[in-house]
Structure 1
Amino acid sequence: MEDYKAPIIYLSGEEMESFSNQSETAVLGHSYEWEGERVVHLHVHPVLHSYGAQGKVMFSKSSIENYDSSQLTGVSYFVCDNVGSIEVFECIEDKWQKRHVNFIPSHQELYSRNKGILEINILEKKRVMIVGLGSFGSQIAIELAKAGVGSFSLFDFDRVELHNLARHTCTINDLGRLKTDAIYDAIKGKNPYANIEKYPIDINDDLQLLNEEIAKSDLVICATDNNKSRFNLSEALVKQQHTGIFGRAVTRAEGGDVFRYRPGGPCYCCLIGAGFYDPNIDEITDVASARRDGRIPAYASEEDANAMVQVGLSADIEPICNMMVKLSLMELSRGSNSGIKCLESELVYDYYMWANRRERRHASWAPLPNAANRPTILRWYGARIPKDDQCPLCSKKQMILEEGQEFEKGLGDNLEGVDINELL
């Protein structure tokens, strides 16, 4: 009869392989148990942000019979690695009971179900830089981790607050934490083998670091909520000749758009033009940051300011996040014979637009049942963006942009073959 009181034990296969190859014959490790569930994870090294009740576990290359009780005082679990044959014991009333163990597989096996669709051996070597870990960046980071991307650099100076929870991946238990720490944990929870560097800073305050990190990355995700950071990222991408993906939602997530920059192609400045300094074009999701960049004026009362922060549903940003993830995986896998190679002939546009509801700027759009050839909600529209010969970032003239200077071209001038005024 099965001992139903026995814990469910998990052990990292790669940690055990590392222990087997080191010179030490025994090390004191760490156990973490989910209280009331009898689920235990055993680790050679401490978990950075631990969970559950903590205990001690002895990892040894000698049999448990070679230890006396004094050597195992306070130890709850014993792991014996005898030439690759691993046994686990639990201490119950001063007696050691052998237990079954489940092994967490290597990173290759962990994502084996992705094989045939994604090239895991390619993605694990890729480095993605994500700027902004709000409702967009947090979801994109986790999805890329689940796909097997091996390296991340995370940028966000903010902490998790109550107003984030409606659309963020973080939970109420993360309140007050730096978003970089919270998303670090979320990525590690999906891909424990990922390499992650955290930068809890405002990128606008350290443009040298911004350029250095872009130079090291295979892809840059811009998921910030202000145009100053988008401009700085766009400028650095053009300078470094690296691919970047920009995404955002507009007021109350009634819709949103995605832009992909490729070296030599139109940059984000070619697309947005004067919109870089239009305070009405972005969704306001945070009173503090919106006051800092002027989208909420200093003279606005707290009541009026809070009324301006009316975010949309999490379900409203999912399609936009999904498009950004699809584009990211396609760019990271470009040139490989993967199952998503077919997307290279589908996702050919520079700019993509999505609408969730027929209101405000989308009020004139046709109802879904009888839209015919007219623009409607809940579908993607793509457009090719021509390079702006007068663009201050990517034109040959490389004009110097003064903050607050307006461009001659705006969004409405740059969508080739699309009546953007009708769409918006």
Structure 2
Amino acid sequence: MTSTVLLLPRNGLRRLMALNAGTSGAIKFKHSSADDLMLLSYVKVGEVGYQVPLAPKTHRLNQGDTGVNGLWFQVPVELHCWWYELVRRGDQFCVPRDEFVKRLPGPLTDPGALGYIVLTYARGAAFPPYDVTPIPEFAAWLVTRDGVSGVSVAVEPAEFGTGQLAARWPIDDLAKATVMVVGVGSIGGAAVTALAGYGVGRLLLVDPDRLMWHNLVRHVLPGRHVGHFKVDALREHLSDQRSDTRIVPYRFDVVDDAHEVRGLLSATDIVLCCADGVAPRRVVSHLARRAGKPAVLACVLDDGGIGEIIRLRPYPDHGCLLCRRQALIDDGTFDPEPELEAGYGTGTLHQPMTAVGSDLAIVGDLAAKVTTATVLETAGHYTHRLPGEQLNLALQARRGWPGPYDLGYTGNARWVSTVAPPRDDCPTCGKP
């Protein structure tokens, strides 16, 4: 067993798997000696040769060293059982070259001093009884004058994206979901990435800001996007790795452009607000309630010491954000939202972000989880029910805050299950 790994793109393998492909042919590889990687880059089937690029086209292996030749053969499954045992036992084992050749449909050329790679295809390895054991359809071998040893292979799967998780994850219901994310800064960028990873089919991103240098210490986006609008950059950033999710960018300010955002809510299943400041959260709470949509609000309090995630649902007995904050005051706690606002004369309405980027990513990931769980519960997946409507998380040790915010040690989390009823005098929940 060598340390080399051979990458096998699917568009090359399907040439070998065709019923009219024959039983043998020539192949070529591109090689990266620094990574000890080889890429199948050319396949000859009959008299026709095919170039095999690796997606994306910019992958550096596509520009690797060329000219490494080899052979491919269609072989009995028995030979791949040998390969499996060789891989298990390690690089001190090999099989005699003459015994290997007996199981090939054609001869081998002299391997010379360096040897060469042989790729084999065992039709039927993926069917009983071999589908319950890790006997692969494709195996690779290093042929030398001393013998034949196994080479690791990595086969590009036939299906990419969340479809690979179909047996264990409710991809169909999530693929039909639309989530609006308001504010795609440090928390929102992490949440968008997580939502796409969960398999949400469509994300509407609402944020008017550009990515700047000072954002890079906390944001999921890399430096090449500096100057770009965050909503556009996130769509580009996730387009390769999360192609199952359609991302639609809107350069709206949820406060100044509330009339535009209101028009998008009819095609939205749930809203996740990760925007800085009090005003955006209250506007999202108001718009979502009036549209009959659930909303999740995520932020950090106490200079980054506490993460807070609130779920608001448009039920008759559930109040909006304002009702919930007033209930805290009425219970003798306090309204923590002024902690998000800057003092007079600072030139801005909200506090600058004070938490470290990884803590903000935790809040964003949890907010995405709460949002996804809400979508799944609504679709009837009750194994995704949450224990409450509000999650408070100690990002740093905080003591002395009253009520549900007295979390003590770092890492402590507290779910709040009680909700405040709508108030008659509430501008959101009260009658218009």
Counterpart CA distance in 2 for 1:167 and 1:31 is: 27
The TM-score, its normalising length taken from structure 1, stands at 0.59
Deviation at 1:392? 1.7
Tell me which residue corresponds to 1:281.
339
Counterpart CA distance in 2 for 1:215 and 1:320 is: 27
* Segments ≥4 residues shifted beyond 6 Å: 101-104, 274-279, 363-366
Tell me which residue corresponds to 2:397.
358
Partner of 1:242, secondary structure, is coil
Aligned residues of 2:310 and 2:391 also touching (Cα < 8 A): yes
Tell me which residue corresponds to 2:29.
3
Partner of 2:239, secondary structure, is helix
Which protein is bigger by CA-based radius of gyration?
A: 2
* CA pair 173-239 structure 1, distance change in 2 beyond 3 A: same
* CA pair 271-241 structure 1, distance change in 2 beyond 3 A: same
Deviation at 1:204? 1.6
Tell me which residue corresponds to 1:316.
359
Partner of 1:128, secondary structure, is strand
* CA pair 195-254 structure 1, distance change in 2 beyond 3 A: same
Tell me which residue corresponds to 1:381.
414
Deviation at 1:139? 0.9
Greater Cα offset, 349-358 or 256-265: 349-358
Partner of 2:279, secondary structure, is helix
* CA pair 277-159 structure 1, distance change in 2 beyond 3 A: farther
Counterpart CA distance in 2 for 1:238 and 1:365 is: 24
The match for 2:371 among 316, 328, 342 is 328
- How do 1:131-146 and structure 2 match up within 5 A? 131-146=182-197
* CA pair 392-186 structure 1, distance change in 2 beyond 3 A: same
Alignment RMSD (CA, Å): 3.8
- How do 1:2-401 and structure 2 match up within 5 A? 3-5=29-31, 8=39, 32-35=57-60, 38=63, 105-106=158-159, 109-264=160-315, 265-273=318-326, 280-282=338-340, 291-293=347-349, 295=350, 309=352, 311-336=354-379, 341-344=382-385, 347-359=386-398, 375-383=408-416, 384-398=418-432
Partner of 1:357, secondary structure, is coil
* CA pair 4-327 structure 1, distance change in 2 beyond 3 A: same
Aligned residues of 2:422 and 2:430 also touching (Cα < 8 A): no
Partner of 1:281, secondary structure, is helix
Structure 1: where are the runs of 5+ without partners?
11-29, 40-100, 297-308, 399-424
Structure 2: where are the runs of 5+ without partners?
1-26, 33-37, 42-54, 65-153
Q: Deviations over 1:203-233 (max 9, x none)?
A: 2222221111112101111010011111111
Aligned residues of 2:423 and 2:429 also touching (Cα < 8 A): yes
Aligned residues of 1:118 and 1:333 also touching (Cα < 8 A): no
Number of residue pairs aligned between Structure 1 and Structure 2: 291
Partner of 1:4, secondary structure, is strand
Deviation at 1:317? 2.3
Aligned residues of 2:30 and 2:61 also touching (Cα < 8 A): no
Deviation at 1:342? 2.4
Deviation at 1:364? 12
* CA pair 386-251 structure 1, distance change in 2 beyond 3 A: closer
Aligned residues of 2:325 and 2:335 also touching (Cα < 8 A): no
Deviation at 1:36? 7.0
Partner of 1:189, secondary structure, is coil
Counterpart CA distance in 2 for 1:220 and 1:311 is: 24
Of all paired residues, the percent bearing the same amino acid is 18
* CA pair 105-219 structure 1, distance change in 2 beyond 3 A: farther
Deviation at 1:110? 2.2
The TM-score, its normalising length taken from structure 2, stands at 0.58
